[in-house]
Chain A
Amino acid sequence: MSRASRRQYHQRLKGALDNTFLGQTLARFQGNYRGSRQAGFAGMDFEALAAEVGAAKDAALGQLEALYQQFKAQAEAAGATVHLAHDAAHAREIIADIAAQTGSRRIIKSKSMTSEEIHLNRHLEAQGLKVTETDLGEWIIQLRGEGPSHMVAPAIHLSRSQVAELFTQVTGEKQDPEDIASLVEVARQRLRQTMLEADMGISGANFALASTGSIATVTNEGNARLVTTLPKVHVALVGLEKLVPDLHTALKILQLLPRSATGQLISTYVTWVTGAVECAANGGKKELHIVFLDNGRLALSQDPVFSQALRCLRCGSCANVCPIFGKVGGHNYGHVYIGAIGLILTYFYHGREAAQELVGNCLNCQACKVNCPADIDLPALIKKTAGLVMAEQGRPLKNQLLRRVLTNRPLFHFLLRRAYLAQKPLAGGGRLIRHLPLFFAPDQEFRSLPVVAAEPLRDRWQRLAPKVSKPRLKVALFGGCLVDFVYPEQAEAFLGLIQGKDIQVDYARDQSCCGLPAAMASEEETAREVARQNLAALDAKQHDYVLTLCASCASHLKKYPALLADDPVWSQRARHLAAKVIDLASFLQKEVGLKPSAEQDKAVAYHAPCHLCRGLGVHEAPKELLREAGYDYRPYDDEEVCCGFGGSYSLDFPELSAAILERKLRQVAATGADTLVTDCPGCVLQLEGGLDHLGSPIKVRHLAQALAEAKDK
């Protein structure tokens, strides 16, 4: 990865972060979306429906060639001509040829991401053809010479003033930016005439039904209906992955697509075109060409890992819920395809160079994954795509180091202990390092960093281990690097909570890092090796639970079975371990039953760690415990939005990590809480460091500490 391209990308990100209008628009967009989506799915079992759609798409992807043949036979029997384009250039040629053969000079288009993928307009214009986008957002960006910044709302990066200015130029008449209806009217008037005069209409398609040879478009404006009706020629450009066997599958998808895209129960127009329909402009019958685009899709559909990416319905929800997109917008978070799916598809459709910087820009916060209507494991695929990029480019030095250090626990822990000595002069006796030497970590000054503990948990364990003669429960404590070496006091607080409850707690000395940092760095083999070491150290069979105070470790330990699925020696132990992993709040609620405390004089806000709320599906337990402990719990909108830490993400993308953190802390401050509670030491690090940097009086506590302090009262 060249340093220059990296520097350029960071400059673009900084530029986006400095654009206040963009930030406000995206924040409003994401806020509105959250509410609309929730309303759209009210009373529905989203998870089950998404799993169903994912399975239905997989089934279709497994037989794309057969579906294509069936579609072709049906559509051609109904008077259409069906083409298969092998790649972008081939598709462009086919469409330009159709234009030439039909004498089409004036072309109108409705929105098609597939046409953006193959840069169709540029090619047709180079042939001297006049191409006009008719979707309002697409028209706006076409006039500005830009690409879309969102798959559903392509001009979402622009303000009404910018649109008014543009339309003033286009019409030669002053346009009022406050009157959005009249701006829409400009497009309606101008484009109506263009549409009536056009020779050819180009549309995309949301579905292609093999059973009947029908194509469907799902739209709101109604332009796609005009594009497919008015001109004598209709060309539909369709990605092969849009093929589904039948109407039933399409209706299943249609249940989720508009709800996921905008929160609408259904889009205004869902239009099904089968064959050469009536068209007076062409002497009675429309000339219909359906151009299917392969461009790598057939090969991708056969890939055991990446075929999932082809399930994508193009709803845009992965961008709508992404904290990074929310800060920098689609022009900096995608190439043609935007958002989490864009990070993956860019590599496959537009190559390594277009993808190499983008693909590292993921927090692994899981927000896209739990909102995906096709049940795509987007964060995992992003990491795997980064692995492919790395395989092409050679592994960077930091990955080689990571592998060497992480797979050698004694070396790793030796280095952590040495860190304590190295940091001493910087911390000045405090618990946080406020200023780093710049050569060490540029752009890291948005937060203070915690100091490594003088005595790690493992060295304290003999003293701390509860002495229980007849245990009713046996718990293996998985510390994780941060609790063990930075925040042993969090483990001490936990032990205080279960004192006298007849619970035996063991701390295996040979346990190491859970391996998540390796997985995040696309070092799968390292992640596997570390997992094996932990499985050897922790014998789940001897314990009722494997408890960890770190949500990230917990959710990663739960992934061991998938990670080691093909490992004949360790896969079974991985399953045993994963089944026993539990987070603190669930454990306390299930097994300990803390006594409700008297009212505390503290107001607390809660930060839900990504890997707890989305990774483990634990949403309410920590807040219930805080309320029972007598705290005045104060909710806020972004409680379940990532804090921007993401492990090494905050080192690789400090500008974004800082911006995402800032938004969270602003909301927390507005609650009036004096304490911010969370249950992941990584989040504690980020939140505490950020608050300290701001000089905020708000204190950060791990849930274990907050509960222990309440009890002490």
Chain B
Amino acid sequence: MNQKELRQEFGRKAEAVSAVVTPVADLAQAFAQAARLTAQQGGQCLAAPGWEADELAALQAACELEGLELITQGLRARTGEFHTGLTRAQWGVAETGTIVMESSSEELRLASMLSEVHVAVLPAAKLRADLFALEDELNRTLAGAPGYLAFISGPSRTGDIELVLTLGAHGPRQLHIMLLEEGS
């Protein structure tokens, strides 16, 4: 698969599991999108752990524009208050529409588990055809113990009542993937 096919396949498969894929030109655009959709859904707080200082400055600006509070740590104490969790994803898997997220930091996990909406920024250059194509990278990540690694495909779901598919069981109700065009 070439880059274009990877992108198409990833988009198709991610949408098939109810994720929303939005191509963005740069981080600023990703931040603006994340802030806007938070505000549109009535959220007042955005949790964004794990970003660099200069990136946070841009995100802070985007949040201010939408009138949102930005938090970057102490998420446990703020459970139920942050609407959106904004994180990076390290890789994307076209075959299944999966994002791979290194989340050894507890704050990263809380942002992607306890939010109503998870927004993940994924560089398009990090798309791979399938999990086997990522084996070396995954092995290196697992070897860096202790660690917590997650494959995420769509928002949380359950079929436990009469097999009726329902989104938003215990995790985020929505998963937005901002597919970043520029180099990582």
* A contacts, CB < 8 Å to B: 25, 28-29, 32, 74, 77-79, 134-137, 140, 153-156, 158-160, 163, 180-181, 183-185, 187-188, 191-192, 195-196, 209, 211-214, 220-223, 225-226, 228-229, 246-248, 251, 254, 262, 264-281, 285
Contact = CB atoms under 8 A, between A and B. Distances in A.
Contact of A268 (B13, B138, B153): B153
A264 B13 CA distance: 11
Nearest to A255: B131
Contact of A155 (B150, B157, B161, B168): B161
A206 to B, nearest CB: 12
B28 interface: no
A188 to B, nearest CB: 6
Interface string B96-107: 111000001110
A277 B169 contact: no
B148 A271 contact: yes
14 contacts: A79-B145, A135-B160, A184-B158, A185-B168, A220-B169, A223-B170, A247-B135, A266-B98, A266-B153, A269-B171, A271-B151, A272-B149, A277-B104, A277-B106
Interface in B98-123: 98, 104-106, 109-110, 113-114
B2 interface: no
Nearest to A134: B170
Contacts of B172: 222
A182 to B, nearest CB: 10
A213 B144 CA distance: 11
A698 to B, nearest CB: 33
Contacts of A155: 160-161
Contact of B161 (A163, A270, A281): A163
A251 B132 contact: yes
Contact of A225 (B105, B138, B159, B171): B171
Contacts, number: 179
Given A29-B163, A280-B106, A273 B148 contact: yes
Given A247-B135, A271-B150, A279-B106, A136 B158 contact: yes
Contact of A247 (B110, B139, B170): B139
B3 interface: no
B143 interface: yes
B148 A280 contact: no
A315 to B, nearest CB: 14
A137 B171 CA distance: 16
A78 B160 contact: no
B79 interface: yes
Contacts of A285: 146
Given A187-B169, A247-B139, 14 more contacts: A32-B163, A153-B160, A156-B163, A181-B166, A191-B170, A222-B113, A222-B170, A226-B170, A229-B109, A229-B113, A247-B135, A248-B135, A264-B17, A268-B155
A226 B159 contact: no
A221 B149 contact: no
A134 B105 CA distance: 23
A29 B79 CA distance: 36
Nearest to B132: A251
A184 B105 contact: no
B92 interface: no
B17 A268 contact: yes
A477 B94 CA distance: 54
Nearest to A140: B160
A270 B97 CA distance: 13
A160 B160 CA distance: 10
B77 to A, nearest CB: 9
A214 B150 CA distance: 12
Contacts of B65: none
Nearest to A196: B79
Contacts of A191: 170
Contact of A28 (B76, B95, B158, B163): B163
Closest 3 CB pairs of A and B: A222-B171, A275-B146, A78-B145
Contact of B156 (A32, A79, A183, A268): A268
B111 to A, nearest CB: 11
Contacts of B168: 184-185, 188
A25 B153 CA distance: 28
A226 B113 contact: yes
A265 B114 CA distance: 25
B58 interface: no
A154 B159 contact: no
A28 B95 CA distance: 28
A544 to B, nearest CB: 46
B52 interface: no
A136 B109 contact: no
A221 B170 contact: yes
Contacts of B138: 247
A226 B147 CA distance: 15
